[in-house]
Amino acid sequence: MEIAGYLASIFIGVALGLIGGGGSILTVPVLVYLFSVDAVLATAYSLFIVGTTSVVGSFSYFKKVWLISKRLLCSVFRPLQPFFLQGLLSFLPFRKKFLASEILPLPKAFY
C-alpha cells in the first residue's frame, strides 16, 4: 500500500505542476487512505507538503528576479504570523488556545 501512496504522490506532483493548484485536496486522501494517517493530522501534513512544494518551486523565480522580495514578505508571511504564534502557544490548555486563536488574527484586520 505504501508503494501505491508514493505513486499517488508523484501523480499529485505532476498535477500540481500542470494545473498549479489543488494540492491539499489531492494530498489528504492519499495520506489518509494509502498511508493510514489520521485525517486531522493529514490535513496539517498536506498544508506543509503543499507549502514546501510552493517554496521550492518559487526559487527559480527568485533567481530571475520575477518576484520582488519585499512584496513577497508582505503578502505571504504577514498573514501567516498568527499561525506561527499559535504554534508557539501550543503548550496552553485547549480553552486558552482557542481564545488565542480568536484574538491573534485581530490585528490583521487593521492592516
pLDDT tens digit sequence for 46-84: 878 877 777 777 777 777 766 566 666 666 666 666 666
What's the pTM value of the predicted model, to 2 decimals? 0.55
Range of the domain at 21: 1-66
Residues 51 and 58: their CA atoms lie apart, in Å, by 11
pLDDT single digits (tens) 79-102:
666 666 666 777 777 777 777 767
Both 30 and 72 in one domain: the answer is: no
DSSP string, 55-100: HHHHHHHHHTT-S-HHHHIIIIIHHHHHHHHHHHTTTS-HHHHHHH
How many folded domains does the chain comprise? Answer: 2
- Regarding whether 72 and 24 lie in a shared domain, the answer is no
Question: How confident is the model at residue 58, as a pLDDT?
Answer: 73
Q: Among 3-12, 14-23, 62-71, 91-100, which stretch is predicted with the lowest mean pLDDT?
A: 62-71
Residues 20, 32: one domain? yes
Burial class (CB in 10 A: 0-12, 13-18, 19+), 9: middle
